[in-house]
Chain A
Amino acid sequence: MTNVGFAMPWLLLAALSALIPWLASGQPPLRYSSLTVAPTDRVSTLIDRAVRLSASLGLIALVVAVAGPYRREQTVERLGFGAEIVLLIDRSSSMNESFVGRYLGGAARETKGAVAREILTDFVTRRKDDLFAVVAFSAAPIYVLPLTQDRGAVSAAVRSSTERGHGITNIGSGLAMALDFFEGRRKGGARIILLVSDGAARIEEETRERLHQAFSDTDARLYWIYLRNRTGVHLDAPPENPGESTTPEYFLHQFFQTLGSPYRAYEAENADALRLAVADIEALENDPLPYLEKIPRQDLSTYGYVAALVFLLPLLASRALEVDRWRF
């Protein structure tokens, strides 16, 4: 019972009103000549007590319901199967552009962000047993959702993370935060960081070193869904005029390949790349993995109202059967 609380506990004082049915019967008395000639009736007394009891319980239930009972936030240990996947979503303003490079605004459907949303939502709904975490990043990483199996929460997080973006792309700190999710966790299934980005970012030398270390520590895999502009570079083909400032994606790709951990990049202009990614992830072997999930507090007042209704119905029926005047 300790995990049940009340929004307005002081209202529980009103439960004293449950005494009212025992103080007086609500029926107005009918003047009779004398009770010495009226029979006593056990059945009537029993029914009367039952109705009073029911009224008392109904009042208590009503008061409890009005006081707003809820189940406290709880942490439940769940057993997860499948991979642990961190969705690392680019929220930079370039994600609001279409694939031909025109800025369309956050609400447009053809932006890279919208495409990423579709791809990721599909992905999340296909992978039933995986644990997902969500991190968004632009200039700084945003902690969105810890590792969980709650599909609704993940989908909502994906939707929110792919709304109107802003700022520049700082991929290094985002990767660092994504890797933080695996720090200190027992290794269960495969660890995957699913980077959804349109590139256009470079990583400093210092950060590269840290990422190198973190990837080897956590044994995470990196999958990059590269939302390529039509005019953008291909990752595998060396560009004609390579340079850190003109074709950062190529160099990023090069860096990722040197990480030592399994890495794959998909150039996503359509859903085929996604299918490839899903197939790859499915091929990985996974162990059962216990993890803790937080359940938010739940409103319990409905039960109180239903109980009150059930208990007050006999009272209504009894009220309907009252005779309030003599027929002379």
Chain B
Amino acid sequence: MIAEFHYPIRWRSFRVHPGHHRSSQTGGSDEFYGHAPLMAYPEPRHIDVHATLHDPFGQFMVRVFRQRSSVPVQVVADVSASMGFGERSGKLARIADFCAAAAYSAFRTGDPFGFLACDTALRSDLCLPLRWYKGLPEDFRNSLSTLEPDGNSSVEGLCAAAAQLGRQRSLVFLVSDFHLGADETNRVLDAFVHHDVVPIVVWSDTEYQKLPAFGWINLADPETGRQRRLFMRPSLRERFMENFRNRRDELNRICGRHGRRPFFLDDPFDADALTRYFLTE
């Protein structure tokens, strides 16, 4: 069963297309917007007697309502080499799970869904254009979870993806491990400033909590190709955790300044946690 989450948003969609979310378009709904002359909105069912009697020009006035519109839901996923960490339920498999849930939730909410993948540049072979999907296509999910990522850096690709999202304000799930510097993180988030960005942080337990307690590990950075040989011991593992805690605080701070706190994608993906995240934001 595909997980499903709800994503109530606080801003008004500009889209004309009817949907589930509050909109700035006028139309048939129960959200009162104001009054207008009958000549402008020829809707005799909505003639407001009280407003008509108050009108100094004696025109027939009608009540006007807001319409509810759809919101584009887009997932921008970082598939640079650093996302290749993990074997059995690697980061990409978790991203695929999350995308499936997002696509299905968008379908259930009545919103169009789009997917953009990028490493050093936009990966057009891994993109889904903004359409109505009945969930994520199964073969697409497979090809995403079995991808061998090899891009060097994700900053340029993410900025290119931001330009690809279009003019209309979307709900963007920005999926990455955010192993970037503070400046780069700021730059990426600035590129998405036009949209409502939900940073989804994908970390693996093995990266810091389940590191070996003792022995040599030779860490290789798949993006820079550099290696660092560390003699693991409990105190060093504690320093790993400390680093990740600091990074978490920093991400909370930076992303909060850009609109939303990040959502940390657990393993396995907990859709209800994401719903709670939207309700408490």
Contacts and interface: CB of A to CB of B under 8 A. Distances in A.
Nearest to A29: B220
A236 interface: no
Nearest to B85: A33
B50 interface: no
Contacts, number: 104
Interface residues of B, number: 44
Contacts of A48: 229, 231
A39 B217 contact: no
Interface of B: 82-89, 91, 177, 179-181, 204, 206-208, 210, 212, 214-224, 226-232, 236, 239-240, 242-244, 247
Lowest 10 CB-CB distances: which A-B pairs, in order?
Answer: A29-B220, A34-B179, A32-B219, A44-B231, A35-B221, A27-B218, A33-B85, A321-B215, A39-B239, A33-B82
A102 interface: no
A38 interface: yes
Interface in A8-58: 25, 27-41, 43-44, 47-48
A33 to B, nearest CB: 4
Contacts of A29: 218-220, 227
Nearest to B230: A44
A47 B181 CA distance: 29
B240 A39 contact: yes
A38 B84 contact: no
B218 A33 contact: no
Contact of A328 (B87, B181, B217, B227): B87
Contact of A37 (B207, B227, B236): B207
Instruction: Classify chain A: how many residues form its interface, as a range.
Output: 20 to 34
Contacts of A47: 231
A25 B228 contact: no
Interface of A: 25, 27-41, 43-44, 47-48, 318, 321-323, 326-328
B120 to A, nearest CB: 15
B92 to A, nearest CB: 12
Given A27-B218, A37-B207, A41-B236, A328 B86 contact: yes
A34 B82 contact: yes
B239 to A, nearest CB: 4
Contact of B217 (A30, A36, A37, A318): A30
Contacts of B222: 31-33
